[in-house]
Chains A and B, each alone.
Chain A
Amino acid sequence: MTAESVHITSYRTYLWVLIALLFLTFVTITVTWIDLSALTVLVALVIASVKAYIVLTWFMHLKYESSLFRVLVIVVLAIYALVIGLTYFDYLLR
């Protein structure tokens, strides 16, 4: 077992996370006024993904952990994407 390293995040970082999340929420709401037709869902999902990335990286400390955890998260997301992809594949080709 390796020695545990404890990382203490400063309030300033958390404040930036908060501001970024609030700003992105504002963007999400604003774009609903614009008619993007087919792209509506895509835009909403992209913004949500950026928010999730910020939360995982800074708020959930993925940035400061060993790379094993990052690999695990990426593998999980890849599996999830594959599962959703295969499901939609059926719908698209029906």
Chain B
Amino acid sequence: MTAENIHHPEPSYLEYRGKYKGLLGWLTTTDHKRIGLMYMYAMMVFFIVGVILGELMRLELFRPGQQFYGPQVYNGLFTLHGIIMIFTVVIPGLAAVFGNFAMPIMIGAKDVAFPRLNLFSWYLFILGAAIALSSQFMGDGPPDTGWTFYAPYSVTTHTNVIAAVLGAFVLGFSSILTGLNFIVTIHRLRAPGMTFFKMPLFPWAVYATAWIQVLATPIVGITLLMIIAERTLRIGFFDPNLGGDPVLYQHLFWIYSHPAVYIMILPAMGVVTEIIPTFSQRRVFGYKAIALSSMAIAFVGYFVWAHHMFTSGMSSTARWIFSLLTFLVAVPSAIKVFNWVTTMYKGSIDVKPPFLYSLGFIFLFMIGGLTGLSLGSLATNIHVHDTAYVVAHFHYIVFGGVGFAFFAALHYWYPKMYGRMYNFKLANIAFVFLFAGFNLLYFPQFIIGLMGMPRRYFDYLPQFTFGMQLSFYGGILLAIGLVLMLYNLFQKNGAKAPANPWGGSTLEWTIPSPPPVENFDVMPEMGPDEEPYDYK
């Protein structure tokens, strides 16, 4: 591949006029790049709503006792915060946005295998989100179960659980179809000569993710329908009064919802695996180990779900087995971290914003991952179960990990997406705010969790006040960082971006920024001696 096809008159995917122009042109597009951006815009809106809900919770928790709203409103707040952030932001997350935008280009394809199905997935995503949000305004008040919808409470509460559950069900279908699309794309549309082990590592991560989406999501779909059946038809699946078993619900729910964590984090790891070598100006260390660890995480991650249920009354044999499996799944994650660090070792490191956000990812993901091990061991789990410690742990994974990797990916592919650069200085300042704010917000939650602060309470004992107030100020810093970052990215008046601003060595950097509609003028091919990261 050379620079031959960089200057040509074809319109970019942003300017291209199909049958319709303007907004309608976007809403009817089957271009994977436009659909990726459409996911991103929708998710940004949901994310901002979710952040506001989170900040409202911090406001209530500023002092002990009731400040602004009572327990019922607070329960509604954390439920909606959870549903929005989990189901409409981080689960579609990097896979839907960058899996769509970048993955087909990186494997040398013109589009995904089923472009119309891809657009349909986006509409299902919007529909599911709309149904979930409608639960706030219809029926007998916003759901108050938490995003986990634990039975039997979700069966007996009078709030509008059915709409929220149905929304999550539809969102699940969007996820399954996207996963299916990506599996077929990667199997069938790789450039000639690009074998699986010549594929870049972000597509590898997306591939592993897609399998989890296809295999795990149906289980939560069925489970959510069982809740609806139990609420409306009084079939006794979960409610002991009807002859059901509440622990069965937790099994079924977490069989999906633990692998869902890997749906979120695997593409995040994939992105970081692209960024670290690019800015260290070295080839990635341990290509095969990283590729296969993605698959290992996807596989082993399937069998650890019951670590969420150590205090729910499971058999003790099941408990130690799941604890052991949980420890095993940390191994492939650690392999990746060691490979990233080794890639940087003796590299000529160029600290640009994408690299900075990736470093933030590694640091925060490490804290999240290691505290996950203390939660996965049986004895400590009993102590910190359902405390703020858990809240801190999963925010370190989901926001510190997935969120920061998303920001890294956004800063990495932004020039490719819009054909413009952004202000590096402002991006760095935003990073400092985000990183400091994040740690100030969530680290105190580890401490007060260890001291015994339970999660999901609107009130607390006076000894937790200091930690709660630190978190509040952290939340403000974090919000400032987000505003700065979004402001920087959405003014779109930076210098024109060259085709390869970072010296990247994957296929997307060989085509213009922004790419033409069909990505490649000449279909790329890989010779027998070519290596995965040979495109410079």
B-binding residues in A (CB < 8 A):
1, 76, 79-80, 82-83, 86-87, 89-94
Chain B 205-258 interface residues, beta-carbon cutoff 8 Å to A: 215, 219, 247-248, 251-252, 255
Partner-contacting stretch, out of B70-78, B89-97, B311-319, B360-368 = B311-319
Q: Contacting A94 at CB < 8 Å: which of B188, B252, B306, B315?
A: B315
Q: Contacting A93 at CB < 8 Å: which of B299, B313, B315?
A: B315
A91 / chain B contacts, CB cutoff of 8 Å: 315
Complex contact A82–B251 (CB within 8 A):
no
Complex contact B317–A89 (CB within 8 A):
yes
Contact with A along B301-331 (1 / 0, CB 8 A): 0110010000001111110011000000000
Q: For the complex, what is the distance from the CA of A76 to the CA of B302, rounded to whole Å?
A: 12
A79 / chain B contacts, CB cutoff of 8 Å: 215, 299, 302
Residue contacts A-B, CB under 8 angstroms, 9 given = A79-B302, A83-B303, A86-B321, A86-B322, A87-B248, A89-B315, A90-B306, A90-B315, A93-B316
Q: For the complex, what is the distance from the CA of A94 to the CA of B315, rounded to whole Å?
A: 4
**B192 and chain A: residue at smallest CB distance:** A1
B252 / chain A contacts, CB cutoff of 8 Å: 87
A83 / chain B contacts, CB cutoff of 8 Å: 219, 255, 302-303
> What's the nearest-Cβ distance from chain A to residue B118, in Å?
21
Q: A79-B215, A87-B255 are in contact. List 18 more A-B contacts (CB 8 A).
A: A1-B188, A1-B192, A76-B215, A79-B299, A83-B219, A83-B302, A86-B306, A87-B251, A87-B252, A89-B317, A89-B318, A90-B247, A90-B251, A90-B306, A90-B314, A90-B318, A93-B315, A93-B318
**B255 and chain A: residue at smallest CB distance:** A83
Q: How many of chain B's residues have a CB under 8 angstroms from any CB in A?
A: 21
Q: For the complex, what is the distance from the CA of A75 to the CA of B317, rounded to whole Å?
A: 26
Q: For the complex, what is the distance from the CA of A62 to the CA of B45, rounded to whole Å?
A: 44
Q: Contacting A86 at CB < 8 Å: which of B188, B303, B313, B316?
A: B303
A-binding residues in B (CB < 8 A):
188, 192, 215, 219, 247-248, 251-252, 255, 299, 302-303, 306, 313-318, 321-322
Q: For the complex, what is the distance from the CA of A18 to the CA of B76, rounded to whole Å?
A: 52
B315 / chain A contacts, CB cutoff of 8 Å: 89-94
**B325 and chain A: residue at smallest CB distance:** A86
B255 / chain A contacts, CB cutoff of 8 Å: 83, 87
**A94 and chain B: residue at smallest CB distance:** B315
Q: Which 8 A-B pairs have the closest CB atoms?
A: A90-B318, A93-B315, A94-B315, A93-B317, A87-B251, A90-B314, A90-B315, A83-B255
Complex contact B302–A94 (CB within 8 A):
no
Q: For the complex, what is the distance from the CA of A86 to the CA of B318, rounded to whole Å?
A: 8
Q: For the complex, what is the distance from the CA of A92 to the CA of B192, rounded to whole Å?
A: 51
Q: For the complex, what is the distance from the CA of A94 to the CA of B251, rounded to whole Å?
A: 14
> What's the nearest-Cβ distance from chain B to residue A6, in Å?
16
A94 / chain B contacts, CB cutoff of 8 Å: 313-315
Which of B192, B219, B315 has its CB near the most chain A CB atoms (within 10 A)?
A: B315
A1 / chain B contacts, CB cutoff of 8 Å: 188, 192
B248 / chain A contacts, CB cutoff of 8 Å: 87
B321 / chain A contacts, CB cutoff of 8 Å: 86, 89
B322 / chain A contacts, CB cutoff of 8 Å: 86
Q: For the complex, what is the distance from the CA of A8 to the CA of B302, rounded to whole Å?
A: 37
**A80 and chain B: residue at smallest CB distance:** B215
Which of A80, A92, A93 has its CB near the most chain B CB atoms (within 10 A)?
A: A93
B313 / chain A contacts, CB cutoff of 8 Å: 94
> What's the nearest-Cβ distance from chain A to residue B143, in Å?
26
> What's the nearest-Cβ distance from chain A to residue B407, in Å?
33
A80 / chain B contacts, CB cutoff of 8 Å: 215
> What's the nearest-Cβ distance from chain B to residue A26, in Å?
28
B247 / chain A contacts, CB cutoff of 8 Å: 90
Which of B188, B251, B322 has its CB near the most chain A CB atoms (within 10 A)?
A: B251
Q: For the complex, what is the distance from the CA of A93 to the CA of B320, rounded to whole Å?
A: 12
Q: For the complex, what is the distance from the CA of A7 to the CA of B302, rounded to whole Å?
A: 35
B318 / chain A contacts, CB cutoff of 8 Å: 86, 89-90, 93
Q: For the complex, what is the distance from the CA of A94 to the CA of B192, rounded to whole Å?
A: 54
B188 / chain A contacts, CB cutoff of 8 Å: 1
**A90 and chain B: residue at smallest CB distance:** B318
**A89 and chain B: residue at smallest CB distance:** B318
B215 / chain A contacts, CB cutoff of 8 Å: 76, 79-80
> What's the nearest-Cβ distance from chain B to residue A65, in Å?
13
